[in-house]
Amino acid sequence: MRRGALASVVLLVLFLAGWQWGPQMLGIPSFIVPPLSVVFQEFLRMWHADNLIFHAGITAAEVIAGFTLGSLLGASIGYLLGMSETAEIALSPYILALQIAPKVAFAPLFILWMGFSVYPKILVAILIVFFPVLVNVMTAVRGVDPDLINLARSFKATRAQIFWKIEFPASMPPFLAGLRIGSTLAVVGVVVGELVGGNSGLGFLLSMGEGQANTPMVFVAIIMLTLIGSVAYLAVILIERRVLHYVPKRVVSPF
């Protein structure tokens, strides 16, 4: 554990040092890859002049809303499809068609419907998060041992008892794995919405930096988006450890 953490810190230091001095040593112009110090100076400028914390807060709130609603919707329909073969046959073609359709194409449509508000960004995030969570939950419910369900039925267990005592606990590890994927995809969905038609948020700053040919500004926006996605991912990991505390931890080799 300590050796891995130390290696991670060393790699981070090497990466930051390479970012600071590597482009200059390779002859890469600063307007293509600005040094780390220039990006940090732009970060300070944006913090005071461009209301960076406000835009980051808008994006973070949209990510939380899209991730939460998309996860709840995906889990609910995933349980429904997993427990009912009829529902799966009836709804699967439409859900698959929705997944196949590119999400970027929905962003302009949502903006036409709802204007330049937060709702189009949240809807795009919901669409992106929805499918991975649904597939994980549906697969987990379908994979429950039928002998276990038959045993519960032999003891006169109701359908609700079978769900809460057998199917729901069995689906938790795949469901939380889907949440890990969804926590990162939610950031992608929000940024897509903000790039297409945003007047606030980090995607808006990203688009502004591109329009001004301000490469450091683009790097700052990307770093902030990465931090938001990382925090969301770590939050899911902490929830997973609390919920799945009964799962044996992986034994790490000392070598």
Task: Give the tens place of pLDDT for each residue, 86-134.
Answer: 887 888 888 888 778 777 788 888 888 888 888 889 999 999 999 889 9
Give residue 226's pLDDT band: very low, low, confident or very high (50, 70, 90). Answer: very high
For the chain, the domain total comes to: 1
Range of the structural domain that residue 167 is part of:
37-243
Using CA atoms, how far apart are residues 208 and 77, in angstroms rounded to an integer?
38
Nearest to 228 by CA among 14, 103, 53, 11: 53
Q: Is residue 20 part of a domain?
A: no
Distance, C-alpha 64 to centroid of its chain? 9
User: Please, how many CA atoms are within 13 Å of residue 122, restricted to the half-sphere of its CB?
Assistant: 16
Nearest to 149 by CA among 166, 137, 164, 170: 166
Which amino acid is present at 75? A
Using CA atoms, how far apart are residues 75 and 203, in angstroms rounded to an integer?
28
Nearest to 195 by CA among 124, 248, 94: 124
Using CA atoms, how far apart are residues 138 and 239, in angstroms rounded to an integer?
21
Q: Is residue 11 part of a domain?
A: no
Which amino acid is present at 29? P
What pLDDT does 90 receive?
84
Q: Is residue 157 part of a domain?
A: yes
Residue 166 belongs to domain with CATH number: 1.10.3720.10
Q: Is residue 160 part of a domain?
A: yes
DSSP secondary structure letters along 128-169: HHHHHHHHHHHHHHHTS-HHHHHHHHHTT--HHHHIIIIIHH
Nearest to 144 by CA among 171, 122, 112: 171
Entry pTM = 0.85
Task: Give the tens place of pLDDT for each residue, 4-25.
Answer: 778 888 888 888 888 888 888 8
Task: Give the tens place of pLDDT for each residue, 112-124.
Answer: 888 888 888 999 9
